[in-house]
Structure 1
Amino acid sequence: MASEDSMTRTNNKPLRIAMIGTRGMPAHYGGVETVVDVLARELVRRGHDVTVFCRSEDYNSHPPMIGGVHLVYLPSSSSPGVGAMVHAMRGAVYTIGRGFDIIHFHALGPGLMAILTRLFTRAKTVVTVHGRDDKRDKWGRMARLILRVAATSSARVPHATLVVSEALAEEYAREFGRATTVVPNSTHAIPEVVAGKTLERFNLAEGHYFVSVGRLVPEKAPHELIAGYRRAHTDLPLVIVGGAAGTEDYESHLRELAEGDERVIFTGPLYGDDLAEMLTNAGVFVTSSHLEGLPTALIEAGRAALPIIASDLPSHQEILATKAGALGQRVYPVGSIDDLGEMMTLVGDNLEEERHGAKLMAVELDARYAPPRTAEVHEAAYYATRGL
């Protein structure tokens, strides 16, 4: 009997796929890296030949393959703000004449280099828009202009434009008249790690703290999270996991906002088992973000059956499948510090009930964002370009 994977590729040969725009594998930085890591491994499992381009300076060792995925290491740039595009340009040039079937760029900045593979290779070029980087507060005027050009290019240049949420699909249809394919992000389920050294390090009690995970950048609004938390009536500590991303002054500002309140704990970036321990032993996951594509941190927290408090961004509502909020999946009006504080009070006072709702949500998210499903959607999008 044919396997399920082979049946999805009836009359289609395995593909040679290049992925450009990530820092590399294994993922240890952000959401895009996690998505590419999971997707690449799953596509290899389905019989494809996948190469991921890595920034050589971001890894101490350079193994040629991880999980069946070929790795190519190329240098980036030390100049702030241009590293991703420089690395993508070098990756695009590297692919010329190497027989790839699909060259897949991830994120707007790297996607600007899709013009090179469109012009100088026979491969089909694909760009995934993980979020509207041209609307992020951390960029200056020139960077925003370049990213705005990249957004327009992502709708015009590639054979296929993929987006990670229905909200982004609607934006591209409205702003650019571009039909896109929605390819939900996927993550591996976070392994449950018994409370131990990481919680001890920060003097935390299992199941009794709020946690927020993400880069410390203005559009994720951790300043609002701190303000909302300080208005809440709760004795649960607030743990903020993450570091600056070219936003060191903003990180300093956050620490000033929390000064004098020992309940607010900055851990810096956490990875691997340290992150898994911090996330899976939390009481509540909170995100106050103003701008997202389809945030992997929220998906991971939901799949870990953590009660959620999230701003009511369309992408957050898409993940939680709720507009009004429900037990374990609460939403509040984006930017409303008072509502956030009230929600933290409510959830903090009713953890057991909220956990019951979160467990029901986790079952649905496991099915919706499992790696095989995401890989199948990508695979179909790749094969659809072969007729173009």
Structure 2
Amino acid sequence: MRKIKLAIIGTRGIPNHYGGFEQFAEYLAKGLVERGHDVTVYNSHSHPYQKSEWNGVKLVHCNDPEDKWGTAGQFVYDLNCILHTRKESYDIILQLGYTSSTVWGWLLPRKNTIITTNMDGLEWKRTKYSKPVRSFLKWAEYLGTVYSDHWIADSLGIQDYLTKKYNIPSTYIPYGAFPFEEPEIDSLASYELSPYGYNMLIARLEPENNVDTILEGVSKASKKLPFLVVGKHATHYGEYLKTKYAAFGHIRFVGGIYDINVLNNLRFYSNLYFHGHSVGGTNPSLLEAMASQALICANQNEFNSTILEKDALYFSNAGEVSKCVDTVDKQQYSSFVGNNLHKIKHIYEWNKIIDQYENHFKTIYSTQHEIQQNIPS
């Protein structure tokens, strides 16, 4: 079979300078190129990396007015990306998410191009959005089912949701992570931390990530170990949290950290790693925490428990967070850490995930061409 010509849309671009989908696109695109495919990733014109190629991946920079127009600019950027795909002859377009792109779904190239969409999480459940916005996101999710030929679910919970809600089949492919087994203690020096002498979380500072619940528990705990809050905090909600917990000097808001090696070392040497995400999907940071051999205390919900199973501590309220902070020593739970690393190596390792995506692309490409060949001329 000849190589597949693939485009990836729906991110701000690669290499990653932003977050989950961008990290995913970076690993996937590079892996597919290494497997012999022709891959293009669409980048914002303001992306820090301005070259037209990265590790063999072709890059197309499209105008992105988000910095001037705010959220409306995301819709314009997605429109510009989709319009550009119409000028090319891609075999497959992988669309990541739906929040600002599926309203333009009717413009996606249809002739000889297959559209497959990663349906992301249940964005309309995010409490940071107003009721009108959440209603729009439900509609955008629906459009994602209308204007796509195939669908990918990154968690079994999302796959079940798509089946029950829309009666559509989807291919389950989770995110991945690379096992981290060579820690460097020097990474702790700039944060004035000692090995296993601190707790932490990594998240977007948003209500549905339970950051406030975690910090409330941390503030009320008897133990006052340093607590790192890693995530961009120059937001309205971030400012609220910083003000609310300003009196607790052991809670440190360190901002976003995008150096994966630094993040891996911080996770590895932490005593407890809190994961508060509650809205759908397999969160990349959860898998990275597992891969970094962190001891995880996660919000109790089906999306987290499906991945972690019995190999984590769980919380539902601030009191349970406090109890974990006061009583848990990482050395007591070495089996949790080891079992989660085993899952990464044997289920969620990036090369295995890229293989699954490649098989998905090969399958839908071959099926489409068999159908076309059997259509009478």
Give the TM-score, by structure 2 length: 0.90
Counterpart selection for 1:66 from 49, 54, 68? 54
Corresponding position of 1:115: 106
Q: CA deviation at 1:243?
A: 0.8
Corresponding position of 1:103: 93
32-41 vs 140-149, which moves further: 140-149
Corresponding position of 1:306: 294
Alignment pair present for 1:145 and 2:135? yes
Return closer, same or farther for 1:354/1:191 CA change in 2, 3 Å cut-off.
Answer: closer
Q: CA deviation at 1:356?
A: 4.2
Q: Contact 2:227–2:251 at 8 Å: present in 1 too?
A: yes
Q: CA deviation at 1:283?
A: 2.0
Deviating beyond 6 angstroms after TM superposition, the runs of 4 or more aligned structure 1 residues are none
Corresponding position of 1:90: 80
Query: How many corresponding residue pairs?
Result: 363
Counterpart selection for 1:267 from 219, 229, 254? 254
Mapped partners of 1:201, 1:22: distance in 2: 31
Q: Give the partner amino acid of 2:323.
A: E
Q: CA deviation at 1:128?
A: 0.5
Q: CA deviation at 1:149?
A: 1.4
Q: Contact 2:226–2:251 at 8 Å: present in 1 too?
A: yes
Mapped partners of 1:104, 1:125: distance in 2: 6
Corresponding position of 1:341: 322
Deviations 1:182-236 (A, max 9, x none): 111123345745233x533332212211110111111112111101112333232
Corresponding position of 1:239: 228
Corresponding position of 1:5: none
Mapped partners of 1:315, 1:296: distance in 2: 12
Corresponding position of 1:330: 313
Q: Contact 2:178–2:350 at 8 Å: present in 1 too?
A: yes
Corresponding position of 1:315: 303
Mapped partners of 2:292, 2:119: distance in 1: 26
Mapped partners of 2:268, 2:150: distance in 1: 37
157-166 vs 129-138, which moves further: 129-138
Corresponding position of 1:75: 63
Mapped partners of 2:361, 2:78: distance in 1: 20
Corresponding position of 1:212: 201
Corresponding position of 1:373: 352
Return closer, same or farther for 1:191/1:98 CA change in 2, 3 Å cut-off.
Answer: farther
Unmatched runs of 5 consecutive residues or more in structure 2:
369-377
Q: CA deviation at 1:143?
A: 2.9
Q: Contact 1:54–1:72 at 8 Å: present in 2 too?
A: yes
Q: CA deviation at 1:118?
A: 4.6
Partner-residue secondary structure (3-state), 1:29: coil
Deviations 1:23-58 (A, max 9, x none): 111112111111111111111111111000011113
260-269 vs 377-386, which moves further: 377-386
Corresponding position of 1:281: 269
Return closer, same or farther for 1:96/1:108 CA change in 2, 3 Å cut-off.
Answer: same
Return closer, same or farther for 1:190/1:215 CA change in 2, 3 Å cut-off.
Answer: farther
Unmatched runs of 5 consecutive residues or more in structure 1:
1-11
Q: Give the partner amino acid of 2:222.
A: H
Mapped partners of 1:288, 1:345: distance in 2: 18
Q: Give the partner amino acid of 1:208.
A: G
Corresponding position of 2:334: 355
Q: Contact 1:39–1:186 at 8 Å: present in 2 too?
A: no
Partner-residue secondary structure (3-state), 2:7: strand
Partner-residue secondary structure (3-state), 1:28: coil
Corresponding position of 2:123: 133
Corresponding position of 1:4: none
Mapped partners of 1:23, 1:269: distance in 2: 16
Corresponding position of 1:17: 6
Mapped partners of 1:191, 1:269: distance in 2: 23
Return closer, same or farther for 1:80/1:139 CA change in 2, 3 Å cut-off.
Answer: farther
Q: Contact 1:105–1:114 at 8 Å: present in 2 too?
A: no
Q: Contact 1:38–1:188 at 8 Å: present in 2 too?
A: no
Q: Contact 2:92–2:361 at 8 Å: present in 1 too?
A: yes
RMSD: 1.9
Corresponding position of 2:372: none
